[in-house]
Amino acid sequence: MFYNKMENMTDIYLTIDLECRLDCADYQCPIYGRINGTSESYGLDFILETFKKYDLKATFFVEPFFSYRFGLRSLREVCDKILSQQHDIQLHMHPYFKSTKDKIFEDRLYAYNYADQLSLIREAKDILLKCGAASPVAFRAGSFAASNTTYDALDSCGIKISSSYNLNYLNQICKIGLSGQYNYPFLYKGKILEMPVTCFCEFNPLKFLPMYRHMQIGAVSFPEMRWVIEKAGSTDSKYVVILLHTFEFVNFNQRNKNGNKFDKVNISRFLSLCKFLSGNRDKIEIKKMCDIDMIQRFQRGNHNDEIPRMPIKLLALGGFERIKKRMR
């Protein structure tokens, strides 16, 4: 693989993309999971409380441009909450939130040239610093819309870790072009360490081709997540990167914001995952992106980037659960 790993443990990276949604008029619902007419909330505070209960640490990829729309105070409040619990803040970015009535910014980062990507990353980094975050060492492009140019811009900004590669989005909105496909950490040009969001393979009987699904709370069932984590422990590639958004516990009604409701399936998945991780500390270690050693630790050698193929039984179970979610 690409690392010298001394322990026989599986490293789990819990990563949360904290951002607003383009279809929301405020930040309370997508970030804090607050719904009009209810006293409950299932967002940032719920996530932090759950992590505290199970003694888990995480990396929050925080999108700072939403402060242009909702104020720097709102972003600073978010950062203070995360840092007070000793979690990790790294950089996420959706340029669209820089838009004004006179100028609309393209949200897909790959659409920008090197100079513009560099400028956007530096600007976003500076905003996070103003809100008390440490200088970021890791970055994730909004919607995984990165390109090889993004790696060069990150290097110029002194950010040496990326988590923008996602097989489920590759050759679609993710424009990172490499020889081969990767599901585990790799070095780009010997200078940027990519920590892909972990995917598994599922068979598509209609196309007779493999498809990929990434480890996101809103995308896969808990039994599927547990299988991938246990599978990683039996291979040389002992890394799993899991994704969550603060708004994944709310089902958004596009026509009527007052029709939003809590997503009980995703809430259950999240709680089951946290309980599982907490109860298996003899086999797994929870890591933050800021815990990663210098890139020199990841040395290219013989490796196996085989993408785990989900058993049919679990695929059927996960598919059934997703159908139930859509019917609610």
What per-residue confidence (pLDDT) applies to 328? 61
In a domain, 275, yes or no: yes
> How many domains does one find in the chain?
1
Q: What burial class does residue 83 get, using C-beta atoms within 10 Å of its C-beta: 0-12 exposed, 13-18 middle, 19+ buried?
A: middle
In a domain, 3, yes or no: no
In a domain, 200, yes or no: yes
What per-residue confidence (pLDDT) applies to 114? 98
What per-residue confidence (pLDDT) applies to 297? 53
In a domain, 4, yes or no: no
Comparing C-alpha atoms, which of 233, 268, 266, 228 is closest to residue 247?
266
What per-residue confidence (pLDDT) applies to 39? 82
Comparing C-alpha atoms, which of 61, 65, 84 is closest to residue 242?
61
Q: What is the pLDDT along the chain (328 residues), one digit of tens a residue?
A: 344 444 578 999 999 999 998 777 789 889 999 887 778 899 999 999 999 999 999 999 999 999 999 999 999 999 999 999 999 999 999 999 999 989 999 999 999 999 999 999 999 999 999 999 999 999 999 999 999 999 999 999 999 999 999 999 999 999 999 988 899 899 999 899 999 999 999 876 666 667 899 999 999 999 999 999 999 988 777 899 999 999 999 987 654 555 588 999 999 999 999 999 999 999 999 999 999 975 445 544 444 567 888 777 777 777 767 766 666 6
Domain of 14 in residue numbering reads as: 10-327
Contact 298, 146 (CB under 8 A): no
Contact 141, 109 (CB under 8 A): yes
What per-residue confidence (pLDDT) applies to 302? 40
In a domain, 207, yes or no: yes
Beta bridge partners of 285: 11
Distances in whole angstroms, Cα of residue 48 to Cα of each of 2, 34, 174, 202 = 32, 15, 29, 32
How many secondary structure helices (H) and strands (E) does the chain include? 9, 13
Contact 19, 66 (CB under 8 A): yes
Q: What burial class does residue 211 get, using C-beta atoms within 10 Å of its C-beta: 0-12 exposed, 13-18 middle, 19+ buried?
A: middle
- The sign one gets for the Cα dihedral 319, 225, 280, 234 is positive
What per-residue confidence (pLDDT) applies to 117? 98
Cα Rg for the chain, rounded, in angstroms?
19
Contact 308, 201 (CB under 8 A): yes
In a domain, 100, yes or no: yes
What per-residue confidence (pLDDT) applies to 110? 98
Task: Tell me the three state secondary structure of residue 133.
Answer: coil
CATH of the domain at 128: 3.20.20.370
In a domain, 154, yes or no: yes
What per-residue confidence (pLDDT) applies to 72? 96
56-72 as b/e: b if 16+ CB within 10 A = bbbbbbbbbbbbebbee
In a domain, 2, yes or no: no
